[in-house]
Amino acid sequence: MSHMSDFSRFWAGQVVSSLGSSFTSFAIPLLVFVLTGSALDLGLATAATFLPYPLLGLVVGALADRLDRKRLMIAADLMRASTIASVALLASVDSLSMWWIVSCAFVASTFTIAFESAAAAAVPSLVDRGELVRANGRVHAGDAAAQVVGPLLAGAVVLIAPVEVVLFADSATFLISAVSLALVRTSFGGGRNSDSQGRIFAEVKAGLAFTLGRPVLRELAAMAAIFNLVARTVGAQLVLFATFELNAGTGQIAALFSAASAGTVVFALLASRLKERISFSSAVLGSVIAIGALIVVLARTHAFVPALLLVAVIAGLIGFFNVNTVTLRQTITPPELLGRVSSVARVLSWSAVPVGVLIGSWAIQVTGDVELVFTVIGVAVVTTGVAFSFTALGRADAHLVRDAPGGR
- Of 408, 264, 402, the residue nearest 328 (C-alpha): 402
Closest CA to 8 of 142, 173, 190, 121: 142
pLDDT for the residue numbered 129: 64
Pairwise CA distance, residues 294 & 240, whole Å: 19
pLDDT at position 400 is: 55
- Could you list the beta-strand ranges (E) of 166-280: none
Let me know: does 85 contact 141? Beta carbons within 8 Å: no
CA dihedral of 14, 153, 21, 291, whole degrees rounded to 10? 90
The domains found in the chain, sorted by start residue, are: 2-184+202-403 (1.20.1250.20)
Ordered mean pLDDT values, 10 residues apiece, the chain (408 residues): 64 80 82 86 90 80 77 91 93 90 92 82 71 71 73 77 84 90 75 53 78 83 90 92 91 85 79 72 88 97 96 91 77 73 77 91 94 97 94 70 50
Residue 194: what pLDDT? 47
Distance in Å from the first CA to the final CA of the chain: 35
pTM of the predicted protein model: 0.74
Q: Are 71 and 184 in contact (CB under 8 A)?
A: no
Q: In 3D, which of 227, 221, 219, 223 has the Cα closest to residue 380?
A: 227
Return the pLDDT at 383.
97
Among 241, 179, 253, residue whose Cα is nearest residue 26: 253
Count CB atoms within 10 A of the CB of residue 27.
Answer: 27
pLDDT at 398: 64
Q: Which candidate, 155, 18, 24, places its Cα nearest to that of 84?
A: 24
